Structure 1
Amino acid sequence: MALASAALVWWLDPTLRWTFDAALLWRNALPVFLVMLLIYGLSGRALLALALGGGIARLVFEVNAIKELNLNEPLMPGDLVLWHQVLHNMGFFAHYTGHRLVLLLLALLVAIAVLWAIWRLEGRWRRPHWATRAAWVVLALLVLGTLYRGIGPWREAYADEAMPGFQLWDPIDSVQHVGFMAGLVRMSQEARSTVPQADGSLVHDFAVRHAADLKARMTRQPPAELPDIVVVQSEAFFDPGVLKGIDYGEFVPNFERLAATGITGSLTTPTYGGGTIRTEFETLTGYPMQAFPSVVYPYYGLVSAWMPSVPRRLAALGYSTTLYHPFSGGFWNRRQTMPELGFQHAYYRQSFAGAERAGEYISDRALFDYVLAHLDDTGSGPHYAMVITMENHGPWDFDAGTLANVLNGLPLPRGMSAAGTREMTYYLSHLVNGDQALGDFARRLLARPRWTVLMFYGDHLPALPHAFEDLGFDDGGVNLQEHTRYMLVSNRSLPAQQLDLSSYELPGLLFDTIGLPEDGYLALASAIREAWVQDHYQHGAEYGQVQFNAAELEVHCRHKLDATGRCHEGRAATALGAGN
């Protein structure tokens, strides 16, 4: 079984095949061997343990390959919280398997037949005594438990020194250096981490140096008339002009026209190809996901009702807060977490029954029409609407069908492969369709007599691996280094400004532009943003550390930071999720 485990991971993992490293090989083979040993102890059948354990390992590698292809991220311990999401949304996740789904189903049928035959065959052979088998079970469980929790010698065996190239904040690069199974063990050991211990003195020193700015932000009076605020998180939106052979604005002319009237720039987001809630969490709280490296999905264990989020701050100013998302409310745990983040009302897929679709999902146009109707029907007070689109959701390697007609007159770049052409045709068809819907939505929204502010941004780049490889980016970078776009416009004049941001900086930009009071972390974050703009060449890294430590500090003490950058009350949380 030990030899079979080593041969299996060597065969399945390209990292181990490219360069033979005995130390990495055993670190990757050990988890597979322990699973086989556990099955052997439970069943007393060696061939069954080899076949079933090997099949489980192959399945895990296949699922990991699907996730890497679509999200550029390996399987991680945090994915376990999604098991019920997968079971309840099999149709949604099946889109990402493509032809692999058929192959996996066929392989499952063959595996069941083979396992049944092995079971019958080995049933005729003598099995070890029950006491011996119990010893194997206890040993396998004990080693598996301590291995994945990093107890005893296992912490050192999978430490940085033992696996050069592993970096917790870059999982995909790490598994390409140390192997998938070894990387998964190490990430599981780190997943036990509590909220990182913040350097409070770093935050306090910054607050002292910028005391006047923080005081002005915290004490400023809101405008006499509060505007309606509409924030649109557009699924997989970016301007393909960053690709070679495509001009900026060629496929998104309405976005470019609107962006030129307000504040716009590139947007750095904490995810690629999927994982929307990572960007969503940043724009709702202002907390950088990078400050919490052990957290993969913030809506599971990190979000808490105490958080002074954007909708919660606006509600305190008299706003009604509403979420619009034409998909399942249970997906990504939104139905539970959105009220905790301060949303008073929410409209999910059931509210859009009969709405027009564009391909698999509710069209952006139908979603925008629904939002406009509700904005006009609600009361006279100020409204905050968070709109999360679905039309251009991946995967993007399907036939665009009749929707491809919107590309008439907009030829694709030359020299793409068949796979790249298919991806770009599907993605651009929905992008152009969504851009047209955005132009109509903005025209009607900003024509309202009430002061209205519209913020629009893309949550992440789409996963178009073949198209990106065929074309390449103008700056020579790779997909993970590229950015989405954002804009902030209003029906009251705004000075046109080019400002590149990270998604966690959008809340501060919104409050600053409108002139709303900021408190605690948000005031600090806005002061950090202004300081970075003025002095990022010499002290940019330092400001980033202040930002991350401020977020960690506020989450650790579960309360707003005060004007000195310290916890207002000493209610320390001992672990992630303590506030749930």
Structure 2
Amino acid sequence: MFKSVFRTIPLFISFIILLSFLYIVTSTAVSGDLNTVIDVIQVHTSIIGGMIFLLSLSLWAGAIYFLEKKGWMMPLYESKIYRVLTAFLIAFLIGSIGAYVFLAYHIDIEQIGKTTEWIQEYLNRFIFTAFLLSLITLVIILLVGEVYMGAGVALFTYFILAMVNYYKQEYRNEPLFPNDFIQVGQMKDVIPLISDSISLPITLGIAIAAILAIAVWFKMPKIKLGWISRLVILLPLGFVLYSFLFYEDTFAESFYEEYTSFMPWNQNNNYYYNGPVLGMVSNIKLDVVQEPDRYNEKVLEASVVQAEELTVENSPAEEETVKPNIVFLLNETFWDPTRLDVHFSEDPMPNVRKLMDEYPSGTFFSPVFGGETANTEFELLTSYSMNYINPGGNPFNHILANDQYPSVVSHLNNEGYYSEAIHPNSGNLYRRQRVYPNLGFDSWKFLEDMTYTEKDNSEFVSDQSVVNELLDTIEQQEDPSFIHAVTIANHLPYPEDKYEGGSTIDVKGESLSEDSERMLEVYSEGIKRSDATLDRLNEEIQALDEPTLIVFYGDHLPSLGSNLKAYREAGFGTEEDQQTKAEFYETPLLVLSNFDTGLDEDLGTLSPIYLAPMISEALGLDSPPFYDFMNEMKEEIPAFRNRIYMEDEGQTVESSDQLPSSTQAVLSDYHQFQFDVLSGKQHVIDQLYNTQQ
């Protein structure tokens, strides 16, 4: 009897689906309104669901009795048609469950009613999502070869992806993108961030349920599919699935035109109004860099001509000048927390403020929020923008790790510099161990290569250690040095015990929760220590005999709680503000030196793409034409990222279409150059980077 029950589980599922469908169709015919039916089901879920379950159970019991009495149980179970139909049935069930799980975690897992309301409003998109996940589930089942195991693998995968999407939204205010999957090896750095919000009982419950499911699977009769049946179904199914995932220019494109409304300019809205699965599909791109309109050699040549007209003739200094050491010092998550409207018992960054009054300084306009330091490094080192990278794309992982590309490193190497990168963590992160040599660095030091690895917190190497490392490099090298140094001491998370003895700064705010106050105190303690380290670095370079320049900046703002908790409580802004307001991307920018750089005292607000061209011009180096173009472009649009374009007078607009036509033309040329160099055929790379023209 036990085996008969398991052999006919597909019949039970069929009865449930059939009766549910009949109830909805009949009720809709009577009431004349599907939404009314869904509302009734939502209110009386337990009663209606219980009735359908009991009736299905009765029909199932009757079917088992009938099949056993007629001796048809084993012939049915061994039938190829029954097994194939079971695969389709289970795939549809798992696809529908997966679609609901994705939506529930994306919209509001704590208020399931919102998910039901979404389904009512966008029923076609829910059905489309269930269809796509059913296709994927069926492919997994066919590849595994056993229906229940394949279904379990698919459901577990959907649950994990839904959770990852949920946590990425919570802490980064952006959804999961397909290109994020390449960074799966960096999950160990994400887990500490979300560890406090993971429920141990729920985690144990899921683990126990998974173990029990596997144990039951081992005991129950299997529904295996023959390899011929699998192959016959898999080949056309693979074509259909490919067409729906890479839908552009396929028969599936018409379905997306009818049932979706993609919004690539606003990914949060894109994922909400289309659902997370369709949102992810809309961002499946074979190319990381967005291809500009009318990309070809003729258009590029025209862009080069326009760029030459825009720029002044490159004229290197007549006399040979001493080339200074240049240090780009990226300080992890360095930001001014006093910009929040709360009370601090002391200023966490008094030295930085003093130095910003004495030296050229301004505002660094980060391309990212709350994480992804490597994307800031990409803009700084290549002078190319994340604005033209497809959502979820990571240039370090997807582009720079694969081949050599021109950069500020190769430019300074040509100027006679020794170049070194310092990062006090594993070189596997963002594949930096491959990226740094591809950008032209002569040497690179990761945690295992460093002489100084002392910590001043519970997890990460201190800023002091990184400063000691770069000062040693300057002292040991005879040639002028270019050093790209990254600190990580201020990296999240910010637990109360991060610093021994706790924080020396108290934070109070009328609207701040206790958790937010503690988090800000820990974060401010890290800023205070970074501030003291920078002051010490300035003293060291002032005592050096050789000219030295330090560009100090924070790579992005911190992630302070889920859903921007501390920012919202302090009145700094909401999730929508984080998408459109420059304040969420502005960190301190400071240029220290022991000689007169000739830079303006007020650098204004600058995107990272302009720093290398600006420094090269100020030092009188023999800059490539591309840098001349960038320095002129800076006058048109000094800072920009998706949905925030800052004009030369500081005002911002949400779309490049709102910019003056002259600025749009410059950005169009820039986009052409970026695509050509990083992802195109490099038609004009010599014209952009040859300093001998």
Shorter-chain TM-score tier: 0.7 to 0.9
Mapping 1:30-69, distance limit 5 Å: 30-42=131-143, 46-69=147-170
C-alpha displacement of 1:108: 5.3
- SS for the counterpart of 1:260 is helix
- Matches of 2:319 and 2:411, distance apart in 1: 12
Aligned residue for 1:491? 594
Contact 1:419 1:466 in 2 (8 A): no
1:24, 1:178 within 8 Å by CA — same for their partners in 2?
A: yes
Whole-Å Cα distance in 2 between the matches of residues 193 and 547 of structure 1?
A: 13
Q: Give the conservation status (yes or no) of the 8 Å contact 2:101–2:162.
A: no
Structure 1's 81 and 130: CA in aligned 2 closer, same or farther, altered over 3 A?
A: closer
Note the C-alpha offset of 1:312: 0.9
Cα offsets for 1:239-281 (capped at 9, x unmatched)? 1233223689932222222122233222222222111111101
Kindly indicate whether residue 362 of structure 2 is the aligned counterpart of residue 272 of structure 1.
no
SS in 2 for 1:423: helix
Name the amino acid aligned to 1:428: S
Q: How does 1:173-212 map to 2 (within 5 A)?
A: 173-189=269-285, 191=287, 195-196=291-292, 198=295, 199-200=299-300, 203-204=303-304, 206-211=306-311
Amino acid at match of 2:307: A
Question: Which amino acid in the other structure matches residue 608 of structure 2?
Answer: S
Q: Which moved more, 1:433-442 or 1:279-288?
A: 433-442
**Which amino acid is 2:587 matched to?**
T
Task: Summarize the Cα distance change of 1:320–1:567 in structure 2 as closer, same or farther, 3 Å threshold.
Answer: closer
Task: State the alpha-carbon separation in 1 of the partners of residues 268 and 495 from structure 2.
Answer: 22
Instruction: Report what 1:307 is aligned to.
Output: 405
Matches within 5 A, 1:44-193: 46-86=147-187, 90=188, 92-99=189-196, 100=198, 102=200, 106=204, 109-120=207-218, 122-123=220-221, 131-150=228-247, 152-159=250-257, 162-167=259-264, 169-189=265-285, 191=287
2:613, 2:630 within 8 Å by CA — same for their partners in 1? yes
Checking the alignment, whether the CA contact within 8 Å between 1:269 and 1:460 is kept in structure 2 is yes
Q: Could you say which structure has the larger radius of gyration?
A: 2
CA–CA separation in structure 2 for the residues paired with 1:509 and 1:97: 39
The answer (yes or no) to whether the contact 1:66–1:96 under 8 Å persists in 2 is: no
Alignment-derived partner of residue 572 in structure 1: none
The secondary structure found in structure 1 opposite 2:549 is strand
The one of 552, 562, 568 equivalent to 1:469 is: 568
User: Residue type of the partner of 1:558?
Assistant: Q
Contact residue 259 and residue 487 of structure 1 kept, 8 A: yes
> The residue matched to 2:244 in structure 1 has which SS?
helix
Any conservation in 2 of the 1:241–1:248 contact (CA below 8 Å)?
no
Report if aligned partners of 1:240, 1:248 keep a CA contact under 8 Å in 2.
no
Distance 1:509-1:249 versus aligned 2 partners, 3 A rule: farther
The aligned counterpart of 1:575 is none
Shift of 1:503: 1.3
Alignment deviations for residues 413-455 of structure 1 (CA, whole Å, 9 cap, x no partner)? 3431133223212221211111111111122123312211110
Are residues 1:423 and 2:519 paired? yes
| Alignment match, 2:321 | 224
CA distance in 2, matches of 1:351, 1:102: 37
C-alpha distance in structure 1 between counterparts of 2:404 and 2:319, whole Å = 23
2:239 alignment partner AA: L
1:461-510: CA deviation from partner (whole Å, max 9, x where unpaired): 11112211211228997334322221223222354114111111111121
Letter in 1 for 2:612: P
1:504 corresponds, among 588, 609, 618, to 609
Contact 2:182 2:397 in 1 (8 A): yes
Do the aligned partners of residues 253 and 477 (structure 1) sit closer, same or farther apart at CA in structure 2, a change above 3 Å counting?
farther
- 2:648 corresponds to 1:558: no
Q: In 1, distance between residues paired with 2:676 and 2:376?
A: 20
Corresponding residue SS for 1:361: coil
Residue number in structure 1 paired with 2:671: 548
Over 3 Å counting, the alpha-carbon distance change for 1:374 and 1:422 in structure 2 is same
CA distance in 1, matches of 2:489, 2:329: 13
List per-residue Cα deviations over 1:76-102 (Å, max 9, x = no partner).
Answer: 22123223444xxx3x34313304285
Which residue identity lines up with residue 10 of structure 1 in the other structure?
A: Y
Residue 318 of structure 1 and its aligned partner are, at CA, apart by 0.9
Query: 1:286 aligns to what?
Result: 383
| Corresponding position of 2:470 | 371
Task: Choose 96-105 or 437-446, whichever is displaced more.
Answer: 96-105
SS in structure 1 of the partner of residue 284 of structure 2: helix
Task: Note if contact 2:345-2:507 (Cα within 8 Å) is conserved in structure 1.
Answer: no
Deviation per residue, 1:381-426 (Å, 9 max, x gap): 211111100101123355434253332xx53434311332232122
Q: TM-score, normalised by structure 2?
A: 0.72
Distance 1:388 1:101, change over 3 A: farther
Distance 1:362 1:509 in 2: 31
Give 2:591's aligned amino acid: L
Inter-partner Cα distance in structure 1 for 2:225 and 2:512: 60
SS at match of 2:194: coil
Q: Which residue of 2 aligns with 1:297?
A: 394
1:254, 1:18 → 2: CA distance?
53
Residue number in structure 1 paired with 2:350: 253
Task: Check conservation: 2:262, 2:279, Cα contact below 8 A.
Answer: no
Judging changes above 3 Å, is the alpha-carbon distance between structure 1 residues 238 and 460 closer, same or farther for their aligned structure 2 residues? same
**Shift of residue 68 of structure 1?**
2.3
The alignment's C-alpha RMSD in Å is: 3.3
> Quick one: which of 315, 318, 331 aligns to 2:416?
318
Q: Matched residues in 2 for 1:194 and 1:477: separation?
A: 24
Structure 2 residue aligned with 1:262: 359
How far is 1:360 from its partner?
A: 0.5
State the distance in 2 between where 1:421 and 1:62 align.
27
Q: Provide the rounded CA distance (Å) in 1 between the counterparts of 2:234 and 2:213.
A: 20
2:534 maps to 438
Residue matched to 1:236:
333
Which amino acid in 2 is paired with 1:470? E
Q: Could you say what secondary structure the match of 1:376 adopts?
A: helix
1:28: which partner in 2? 129
Contact preservation (8 Å) 2:633, 2:666:
yes
Q: Structure 1 residue 393 and structure 2 residue 496: aligned?
A: no
**Deviation readout 1:274-304 (Å, 9 max, x if unpaired):** 1111110110010112223267111223226
Q: Hey, what's the Cα distance between the residues in 1 that align with 2:336 and 2:625?
A: 35
SS, match of residue 500 in structure 2: helix
Report the Cα distance in structure 1 between the residues aligned to 2:174 and 2:632, rounded to whole angstroms: 33
| Greater alpha carbon shift after TM alignment, 498-507 vs 107-116 | 107-116
Identity %: 21
Question: Relative contact order (C-alpha < 8 Å, sep 6+): which is higher?
Answer: 1
The whole-number CA distance in structure 2 between the counterparts of 1:553 and 1:209 is 20
Q: Which amino acid aligns with 1:61?
A: A
CA distance in 1, matches of 2:510, 2:668: 44
Secondary structure, in 3 states, of the residue corresponding to 1:402?
coil
Asked if the contact 1:235–1:393 (Cα under 8 Å) also holds between the matched residues in 2, the reply is yes
**1:576 corresponds to which residue?**
none
- Provide the rounded CA distance (Å) in 2 between the counterparts of 1:312 and 1:417: 49
Following superposition, the deviation at residue 61 of structure 1 comes to 0.5
Q: Is the 8 A contact 2:180 2:392 kept in 1?
A: no
Aligned residues: 554
Q: Please, which moves more after superposition, 192-201 or 518-527?
A: 192-201
1:351 aligns with 2:455: no
Verify the 8 A CA contact 1:48 1:118 in the aligned structure 2.
no
Q: Is the 8 Å Cα contact of residues 406 and 432 (structure 1) preserved in structure 2?
A: no
Question: Is the CA contact (8 Å cut-off) linking 2:375 and 2:386 kept in structure 1?
Answer: yes
